[in-house]
Chains A and B, each alone.
Chain A
Amino acid sequence: MLDRTPGPGPSTTPPTPALTPTPRALLRRGRTWIGLAAVLLVGAAAVLAIQGGIRSSGEVLGPEDPGQLGSGALVEVLRDHGVAVHPTRSLDATLDAVDAAGGDATVLLYDEFGTLDRSRLLDLVDSVEAGARLVVVEPGFRALEVLAPGVRLAGAASGAISEAGCDVRAATQAGELSDGQRLMTIDEEAAAAGWQGCFRDGDFGHAVAVGPGPAGDAGSASDAVSLVGATTAFTNDRIDERGNAALAIGLLGATSDVVWYLPGPSDADAATAPTLGELTPGWVSPVLTLALVVAIVAGLWRGRRLGPLVVERLPVTVPAGETRQGRARLYARSAQRAHALDQLRMAAVWRLATTLRLPRATDVAVIADAAAGITRRDPAQVRRLLVEEVPADDAALVRLAAELAELERDVTEALRPDDDAPRHPPRTPDDQPGRQP
């Protein structure tokens, strides 16, 4: 039937079916997964809400931390007995808290990353001289140098320690300590300055050292500074072993105020400089945020594909030289020189026989003699080259291979007509096609 209309009108042409599902179809198809994801999200939120209150921050000796390495248990006990515990994260806050307590406070210092420098440690010493007590847990090298010259680190204890061996009250109350302690040695000068060690582990050192501080003068009490080698006695997971709890409570419970000082990032050197936010104008952060949004939108712009990927059906192709190269590498790896040379010789003898117009079944000795005769070489030498010589090393193999090629070339040269004769003789009428001789 003839098509009389100028073209299919929009009302008559049905739209071409689409591959891409509509958003509604997408929603309908994915509703199982959307439902599952929603349930998971709600469940995760609920679990987070329930767990959030008791979640461990993972901080060692964290004062509110209920985790294994935190010290929530110790702090709770201290608070139950009327001791006010003030967690602080900076030196300024610590000194303020000590001042607020009227100078009569115990400062627990646990400097996990060695943040405090010498001047800040000396500030702490000043507060000690003003009457405060200082308990340093796991003192580092610098802290010992400043706070207790003459007391040095001496490694880990061999096991539990069952005797206090000093007259410090907290130590005698505890009586024994669990294993996991770290030891310190006290040299004679320090001992003379008033330092005494508790919980001696053989000849290796003491788990606890108590002394008057670096000045050693009358301004501070003889037990103003206590050094505890390990965190073991304070952590939630081991505080209930042996006399750990007694030692911790004895050291910290002597005053009504405890400043729980874990140095934070503001104690680092750079902390005194103004922050980046204070230095830049107010619009910089919004502009950076805008740049981030622009980057995301640009990613959406460039990343959205126009239609699905198209698959190219590739035919199989195999490089033909692969087997040859593989065989060559097999020869080389197993150093089959004689075998490799045999291949070259067989091919050479075959070609020589063809060049010399000898039958294929001719004995190789005959071919060698014929080749020697035509190239005026020593027959024995040619026979040695073609048959007898066994290559001893790679150099001999290369030499023999080159000589074989040379022999073939010489034979071909010798059989070629003399150079002064024309290579291609002019055509005789007999050569013309279409004529029978």
Chain B
Amino acid sequence: MAVTGRFVLLVALGVVPVVLAGLTAADAAWLALLGWLALSVGLGAIDLSLAASPRRVALVRDLPPRVRLGETVVSKLTVTNTGERMLRAVVRDGWEPSGGVVGSNRSAVSVPAGERRGIRLELRPWRRGDRRTEHVSIRSAGPLGLWSRQASLVSPGVLRVLPPFHSRVHLPARLTRLREIDGRTPLLVRGQGTEFDSIREYVRGDDVRSIDWRATARHVDPGGRGGAKLMVRTWRPERDRRIVIVADTSRTAAARIADEPRLDTAWESTLLLAALATHAGDRVDFLAWDRRARARVTGATGPHLLARLVDAMADVQAELIEADWTGLPAQVRRITSRRALVVLLTTADAPGTARGLLSVLPQLTARHTVIVASVLDPGTVADAANRADVDSVYLAAAAERAALDGDRVGAAIRRSGAQTVSATPQELPPALADRYLDLKATGRL
């Protein structure tokens, strides 16, 4: 049960009879007060007894399953009045605050008996993951609008909010570069996965090592002065390479750098690299890992890959636990037994936290090409440059210490055979994509 503002007004209007009665005698004023209160409560009770039951309502929810973060969707709720009375109700849909209801979450509807009405709510979620609503609350007022009946009905709804993929603005430039690499046939460098393309005549500047002597011997030009032309083999860039992206979802991923958690940066990097690699014809597998696999996307190709990636990433959040890297080589082996490019999106900035990673890196680098991508904190550089007073000098010293630690860990990673990519949150996705293109151009995938 609930009272309305109209009832408050009704009670407050009692001041008129009370004062009028009080002009003659104090006792009459008290009697008028009691009488007015009794009248108000009586009217309210009659009103309540005439209100439609909020329980005799059927709810149907119409909701798109997923939306990209920052976009708006419309959630429709159909309210069917199954009772015999007119339902005059205020309806509140129980969305989480991060579900991002645009405007007021309360809608007034009047549903005659046996009919139904739709309620439209605009949602603009402001947090990634599954945004839920569990219930719908209905407050049904009587014909006088004094007292109301209220009940919450079970009506679950889930809206999956996908990562925004802001870094897709970098994609056209990288695709152009990819086409340049692709178009630069003949590629004279031979690497694993490169394919034989053609045999053509030697021109000055070609690598002499790529001269195919057997073809030269076969290809005798009868009209030529020297009798024979030098022929070179050319190769197409590598295709159908395996890329395994492993995102670390442990406690280091929870750190917020430049107002973006490391995990979100990892998602952006993953999406950009996956989009690029799909265009380049490589196969991408994804694994979100801390002590167990939080999300896994394997075997998806083409346009399905990105859709499955964002779906898998949507509800993964950083956990406040230490990552267990010892299980990682086995996970990678389960994904692919071939040589692959393994991208570790993690944080390697302190010797203490990187010890686990360093201990398993040799196992990975023995079989695969490994890139360790980590987010740099731009605040470190800014702090290290500020030497205005004592406190900022101490802060600069701490920042330099952190940077030195990061350098040491980076050096250790490179010694164990892996490559490192470090950049600020905004720059990490394009930097990682560029490193991938470099590897591809030099045939080292």
Q: Please list the residues of chain A having a beta carbon within 8 angstroms of any beta carbon in chain B.
A: 7-11, 13-20, 22, 281-287, 289-290, 293-294, 297-298, 300-301, 304, 306-308, 310-313, 315-321, 323-325, 327-329, 331-332, 339-341, 343-344, 346-347, 350, 394, 397-398, 401-402, 405, 433-434, 436-437
Contacts and interface: CB of A to CB of B under 8 A. Distances in A.
Given A283-B21, A321-B377, A290 B14 contact: yes
Contacts of A284: 22
Contacts of B205: 436-437
A341 B398 CA distance: 10
Contact of B383 (A308, A318, A324, A398): A324
Given A297-B11, A298-B8, A331-B398, A18 B55 contact: yes
A286 B5 contact: no
Contacts of B18: 283, 286-287, 290
B135 A307 contact: yes
B152 A10 contact: no
B121 to A, nearest CB: 14
B384 to A, nearest CB: 7
B23 A316 contact: no
A4 B82 CA distance: 20
Given A16-B58, A301-B5, A347 B153 contact: no
B137 A306 contact: yes
B384 A347 contact: yes
A16 B57 contact: yes
Contacts of A325: 395, 398
Interface of B: 2-5, 7-8, 11-12, 14-15, 18-19, 21-23, 25-30, 32-33, 36-37, 54-59, 80-83, 90, 92, 94-98, 106, 113-116, 127, 129, 133-137, 139, 150-155, 177, 180, 183-184, 188, 205, 251, 254-257, 261-262, 317-320, 350, 377, 379-380, 383-385, 387, 389-391, 393-404, 407
A17 B129 CA distance: 27
A283 B29 contact: yes
Contact of B8 (A285, A286, A297, A310): A297
B251 A318 contact: yes
Given A14-B58, A290-B33, A325-B395, A281 B318 contact: no
A16 B153 contact: yes
A15 B80 CA distance: 9
A413 to B, nearest CB: 16
Given A321-B377, A327-B401, A316 B387 contact: no
Contacts of A315: 127, 129, 254, 261, 317-318
Given A287-B22, A343-B404, A318 B151 contact: no
Nearest to B187: A436
A287 B19 contact: yes
Contact of B58 (A8, A20, A312, A320): A8
Contact of B379 (A321, A328, A405, A434): A321
Q: Which 6 pairs between the two chains have the least Cβ-Cβ distance?
A: A283-B22, A307-B137, A282-B26, A340-B397, A328-B398, A347-B400
Contacts of B150: 20, 304, 306-307
B244 to A, nearest CB: 26
Given A17-B154, A290-B15, A321-B377, A398 B387 contact: yes
A284 B30 CA distance: 10
A283 B397 contact: no
A401 B183 CA distance: 52
25 contacts: A10-B82, A15-B82, A16-B59, A282-B22, A283-B21, A284-B22, A287-B18, A301-B5, A307-B135, A307-B152, A308-B137, A310-B96, A310-B97, A313-B96, A315-B317, A316-B318, A317-B318, A320-B256, A321-B377, A328-B399, A340-B393, A343-B404, A344-B393, A397-B393, A402-B387
A283 B26 contact: yes
Given A284-B22, A301-B5, 4 more contacts: A10-B82, A283-B29, A315-B254, A394-B390
B254 A318 contact: yes
A297 B398 contact: no
A395 to B, nearest CB: 8
A313 B2 CA distance: 29
A7 B111 CA distance: 15
Contact of A294 (B8, B82, B397): B8
A324 B11 contact: no
B387 A293 contact: no
A339 B391 CA distance: 14
A16 B81 CA distance: 11
B397 A344 contact: yes
A35 B368 CA distance: 73
B400 A297 contact: no
A306 B92 contact: yes
Contact of A398 (B3, B4, B106, B393): B393
A13 B58 contact: yes
B259 to A, nearest CB: 10
- Tell which of B114, B135, B262 has the most Cβ of chain A within 10 Å: B135
Nearest to B12: A294
A18 B151 contact: yes
B390 A10 contact: no
A285 B137 contact: no
Given A283-B22, A297-B7, A318-B256, A324 B385 contact: no
B3 A308 contact: no
Contact of A343 (B82, B177, B317, B398): B398
B58 A7 contact: no
Contacts of A320: 255-257, 262, 377, 379
A16 B155 contact: yes
A350 to B, nearest CB: 7
Contacts of B383: 321, 324
Contact of B19 (A283, A297, A436): A283
